[in-house]
Structure 1
Amino acid sequence: MGLWKWRRRRERSGGRRWAGPKTTSRYPEPLTLHQLWMVSLSAPVSRDRSASRTTLYPFTRIADDSARGWLAEQWEITSREGLAGRLDELSRSGYRARAQQVFGVAPLAWDAALYVDIARLGFGAGLITEAEAWTALKNIVPSVVRTYASWQEYADHYLLGRKVWQDQLSGARDGSVPAPQSAADAHLSALLDPANGTSPWNLAPWDTISHPDRAR
């Protein structure tokens, strides 16, 4: 399986230049608060400036080929069936099953963030429709809401999952070195900073998903 390999490469990747039109030109309708909350589950995954955190589409500019490339190269996903299988794996066990067995912890937030990121990439790659992508995101919500009571708790468990993953990579000698933990810490701190007006976690507070949906 390519789970550990994907995260190593993903974090090692640098910024890319995007030549396509802005995502909002294709998808001008703002997300509702519930939709933004679901998309925000993947906010910790990518620190790239090319990543969009306020649209279902995963990038700030249209780059369907890049979405297909990410899935194929980092997750070995090239079909609807492959996408469905990987999402099912993450929703049922993912990294947390292995982490529980080896380290005695089961960081759902890590798997949930990857799950939502992959579903969004699948939409961007054209492997699933917009409706199918929203259905996939809705499927992960109940387990996340049962497990956490705040974005802070979610962030803490995400970072715990990352540390478990780093332990798995401690013996790697292939040059695929992940970003330092301090980079992930800083990214999560920015998302949690109440003064950060662009953070999706401030735009859609944790209890948003427990109240009726509304436009932003």
Structure 2
Amino acid sequence: MSKEKRMAGSYEIEQSIYIGEKEVLFGVNKAEEYPFMVCYCSYNNPLSAPWCTEAIGTDDYLEAMQVFTDRVQAQIELVKTEQEQYRFDKTPFTVSDCIPDNHSSNIVGKVVVINAEPKRYEYQHAAYQLVLADGGHGATGGRGQAVFGTCLATGERGRWERYDVLGEIKPEKMPEWAKEALTKLKVQQKEKKTHSREER
């Protein structure tokens, strides 16, 4: 059974490396004036569809490979810089650190642990696991899977799936950095609610 070719426009993708928030692609189309192409590909959109940007074409294979490896290295440096701010134990949390989740209980307002195993290697890090859940059918124990919340380390809101929630973090397993982040986050949320009421 033949494997389906991956394409970016008219170029067949022969090499790809996903590091950080972007994937770097190397494509070939010998029928084009510039047969070698390098671009970024990201999936940060509502449909999670591949979105190619900053494409360059060349007829020089070594030049294309140089651009490809330079872009991969740039992504590595971005992730390194991001993670340098997390000066704490990066060992991922496991189910043993959690109050077991039965997937039907309400976890809104609780700090939950997101399973690190499905994540790419660079994100198998404790910083990306602790999330304050605040909504979604999955969070309320409904039929859906969506769990919305805020990552304590990054401060970014996002969506996770209930089946990726290992459980609520045990109080004794909650690290100091997470306690501090949670306190700040709750203050910010309270201020937003107060501001919203004042606007009304």
- Which structure has the larger Rg over C-alpha atoms? 2
More helix by share: 1
Question: Structure 1 length normalisation: TM-score?
Answer: 0.23
Higher relative contact order (CA 8 A, sep 6+): 1
